[in-house]
Chain A
Amino acid sequence: MDIKPFTDKPIKFMEYDGKPAGDIAALDLTTEQLLVMYRWMVFIRAVDDRGYILVRQGRAGFYAQVAGQEASQVGSALPLTKPDWMYGDHRSQGSQLVKGLKASEWFGHVLGRTLDPTQGRMMPHGSGRRDLHIVPPSSTVGNKITEAVGTAMAQHYRKTKDITITYFGDGATSEGDFHVGLNFAAVYGSPVLFFCQNNQYAISVRLEEQTHTKTIAEKARAYGMEGYFVDGNDILAVYAVTKHCADKARAGGGPSLIEAYTYRYGPHSSADDDTRYRPKGELEMWRTQRDPITRFRAFLTGKKLWDDVKEQKLQDEIKAEVAAALAEAEASPVPEPLTVFDHVYEKLTPQLEAERKELAAELSAS
């Protein structure tokens, strides 16, 4: 497969209307794989829509949608294997679900219930699972970049073929972590993928106010690393580029920077008002002309792999799955107050033990 770094235009395998563009046969994807990709995107949008409604209903405190970025989230996570490590950011629940986090666990996290593998310790978008190698994201932008490099250094030290992927947005490329992380990884040749979802806004600040380079991918040159500029709304392209870079890293070829050019439909989060900064018509244009799900559905339809009957069946299935996942989360209790002292350290310190007794007395008195 011929995937080139540092292209002027985003790498794509489909036109916006779903017509094939490029050597799709070389991707060597089975029909089943194509349908799995589609299902994941539809599923993630359904989970996300439901999650956002929880905030509007006052049942959750915060939500950041991935809507519009499903191709980037799914296409970058599917080439990963089980032992690979994933460092997400505050908008990577789509990739985490593909890596194995259950939708019920995700809803448990959003609602702050014990079904959350992280027991409601973080406001939404901070969940993770050790057994799946999903590290909890941070709210300080960029903090997972150098950690991911450390994990990749360890994978290399342990002579595995495993890799680490770290997700961040366009805004994170202004942080020192980005520079330090790419530099470290290049120096050590670490098997890490720096996956930047350029959705063109860091909350409200547009990319051209964030950086003076034309693309983010080209920044890789400064570190002696390859940078790939990919159409983040084309799941085939995201998959192909990520797979290419993952294979390279597994073979000892070192790190890569991937820029997925995409667009978020929602506000930065449920606490943001995006009407204050988006130009009129921009969101509408992306939604109606560049939607990653509509685009891939058109592609599948063109290949005679999809039709309205299949679509209806899938929508019904997913609706039921999402409802069941949410119900499971809601049935799960909120954490017990005394667990607030657990896991500060491996064992309670004498000071924490004393504080725990204080709270226990307070609770039994009330």
Chain B
Amino acid sequence: MATVEVAKKQTYTMVQAIRSALIDEMTRDDNVVTLGEDIGPRGGVFLVTEGLIDMFGKERVIDTPLAELGIIGAGIGMALYGLRPIAEIQFIDFLYPGFDMFVSEAAKLRYRSAGQFSVPMVVRSPYGGGVRGGSYHSQSPEAYYVATPGIKVVVPSNPFDAKGLLIASIRDNDPVLFMEPKKIYRAVKTELPEGPYEVPLGKAAVAREGKHVTIMAYGAMIPTSLEAAAKLEADGVEAEVLDLRTLQPYDSDAILNSVGKTGHAVLVQEAPRIGGFMGEIAAFLAEKAIEHLEGPIVRVTGWDTPFPYALEKAYMPNVERIVRGVKKTLDF
């Protein structure tokens, strides 16, 4: 019997997909450089840049002194000059020393110069809880950045999107905060197409189709939301899961389409509730979709507390809370 040789396709975790995006883009365009702490011989603390210094040299894979202010500031200066820097901030909790540079300068230089200058920089950074990292290694600070005109905020939820969204972010001419859900960095392995491809910014994706309720989420809350949707199926509830993917600018059409169809919205985020990103989506739905809503808009979020180490489980939104949130709006 003849055997058919099937070429084994390589599978990628999200970390490997992000690394692959960096390699493809750095190979394609020598304006692309990357800078950050421990990204050289160490390969980054999560090994996203493993081996890159050998491929591209230390002029393009730049280990920096330990100062996030300098990483963001120098990145801006490179981008203004015409390079496409990718700054790695080791944990998003450490972006605050560079916060002023990011929100006062990177975000506003295009506007302030009336379009003469631009900052095509990507700030990549792992975010979120579920890794026993405590307050300084678990936060979800997207609301600060979404509330800053001039910055785009992107959050992938799977390896395929991670690679395509990162490539689109690198090619984008505006500063992008690329938030990497470290809890699911290595959760799944998937096959990816050969070579570079883009997943467009500003477009949500339906992660699961359904007609009774829309569960909206992003990043690490997508697998949790999908699990909740599977559980709800047993009760006869067909939940749609909408993966927002880009928070600024968010995909208002996709949001209206989905909620227009289901009439119920459950909004899931890890970040604290007050002033959180999903508050914007709730207000948007209240303004634009009130005639379609058949129950209250429900938010399932982290609590309005700092991120706790020992009580992480009590803090993190989980499947049960999402299911309860869905029932709350369906039973209205």
- 1/0 contact trace for B92-113 toward A, CB 8 Å? 0000010011001100011111
* Residues 108-164 of A at the B interface (beta carbon under 8 Å): 117-119, 121-122, 126, 128-131, 135-136, 138, 140, 143, 145-155, 157-158, 164
Give Cα distance in the complex from A350 to B100, angstroms. 26
Q: Are B149 and A344 in contact (CB under 8 A)?
A: yes
Q: Are A130 and B105 in contact (CB under 8 A)?
A: no
Report the minimal beta-carbon distance from B118 to chain A, rounded to whole angstroms: 7
Assess A140 versus B100: contact at CB under 8 Å? Given A121-B112, A184-B64: yes
Does residue B195 face the partner (Cβ distance < 8 Å to A)? no
* Residues 21-74 of B at the A interface (beta carbon under 8 Å): 33, 59-60, 62, 64-65, 67, 69-70, 72-74
Does residue B18 face the partner (Cβ distance < 8 Å to A)? no
Report the minimal beta-carbon distance from B250 to chain A, rounded to whole angstroms: 8
Most chain B CB atoms below 10 A, which of A151, A176, A345: A345
Does residue B325 face the partner (Cβ distance < 8 Å to A)? no
Contacts of A320 in B (CB 8 A): none
Nearest residue (CB) in B for A342 is B115
Among the stretches B77-85, B161-169, B264-272, B297-305, the one at the interface with A is: B77-85
Does residue A195 face the partner (Cβ distance < 8 Å to B)? no
Report the minimal beta-carbon distance from A346 to chain B, rounded to whole angstroms: 5
Contacts of A342 in B (CB 8 A): 114-115
Q: Are B114 and A119 in contact (CB under 8 A)?
A: yes
Report the minimal beta-carbon distance from B198 to chain A, rounded to whole angstroms: 16
Contacts of B173 in A (CB 8 A): 346
Assess A128 versus B116: contact at CB under 8 Å? Given A180-B73, A345-B174: yes
Q: Are A147 and B80 in contact (CB under 8 A)?
A: yes
* Residues 198-230 of B at the A interface (beta carbon under 8 Å): 202
Nearest residue (CB) in B for A188 is B62
Contacts of A146 in B (CB 8 A): 69-70, 72-74, 76-77, 101
Does residue A201 face the partner (Cβ distance < 8 Å to B)? no
Give Cα distance in the complex from A364 to B70, angstroms. 46
Q: Are A350 and B252 in contact (CB under 8 A)?
A: yes
Report the minimal beta-carbon distance from A345 to chain B, rounded to whole angstroms: 5
Nearest residue (CB) in A for B73 is A146
Q: Are A344 and B110 in contact (CB under 8 A)?
A: yes
Does residue B309 face the partner (Cβ distance < 8 Å to A)? no
Q: Which of B33, B77, B97 contacts A147 (CB 8 A)?
A: B77
Does residue B235 face the partner (Cβ distance < 8 Å to A)? no
Does residue B249 face the partner (Cβ distance < 8 Å to A)? yes
Give Cα distance in the complex from A152 to B78, angstroms. 8
Q: Are A150 and B152 in contact (CB under 8 A)?
A: no
Q: Chain B: interface residue count, which band?
A: 35 or more
Assess A154 versus B82: contact at CB under 8 Å? Given A136-B113, A146-B74, A345-B110: yes
Report the minimal beta-carbon distance from A249 to chain B, rounded to whole angstroms: 15
Contacts of B249 in A (CB 8 A): 345, 349-352
Give Cα distance in the complex from A103 to B88, angstroms. 41
Contacts of A140 in B (CB 8 A): 100, 104
Does residue A187 face the partner (Cβ distance < 8 Å to B)? yes
Does residue B117 face the partner (Cβ distance < 8 Å to A)? yes
Most chain A CB atoms below 10 A, which of B104, B114, B174, B252: B114
Report the minimal beta-carbon distance from A310 to chain B, rounded to whole angstroms: 38
Q: Are A147 and B105 in contact (CB under 8 A)?
A: yes
Nearest residue (CB) in B for A145 is B73
Contacts of B114 in A (CB 8 A): 117-119, 121, 342-343
Q: Are B81 and A154 in contact (CB under 8 A)?
A: yes
Q: Are A126 and B112 in contact (CB under 8 A)?
A: yes
- 1/0 contact trace for B242-264 toward A, CB 8 Å? 00000011111100000000000
Does residue A191 face the partner (Cβ distance < 8 Å to B)? no
Nearest residue (CB) in B for A349 is B249
Does residue B181 face the partner (Cβ distance < 8 Å to A)? no
Q: Which of A136, A138, A184 contacts B67 (CB 8 A)?
A: A184
Assess A343 versus B111: contact at CB under 8 Å? Given A130-B116, A177-B69: yes
Q: Which of A130, A158, A176 contacts B69 (CB 8 A)?
A: A176
Give Cα distance in the complex from A352 to B252, angstroms. 12
Does residue B75 face the partner (Cβ distance < 8 Å to A)? yes
Q: Are B252 and A150 in contact (CB under 8 A)?
A: no
Contacts of A38 in B (CB 8 A): none
Give Cα distance in the complex from A176 to B69, angstroms. 8
Contacts of A351 in B (CB 8 A): 249-250, 252
Give Cα distance in the complex from A352 to B82, angstroms. 26
Report the minimal beta-carbon distance from A304 to chain B, rounded to whole angstroms: 45
Q: Are B174 and A346 in contact (CB under 8 A)?
A: yes
Q: Which of B33, B70, B109 contacts A157 (CB 8 A)?
A: B33
Nearest residue (CB) in A for B77 is A150
12 A-B pairs with C-beta separation under 8 A: A128-B112, A145-B73, A146-B77, A154-B82, A157-B78, A176-B67, A180-B67, A180-B70, A342-B114, A344-B149, A346-B118, A350-B202
Q: Which 4 A-B pairs have the closest CB atoms?
A: A150-B77, A146-B73, A349-B249, A150-B74
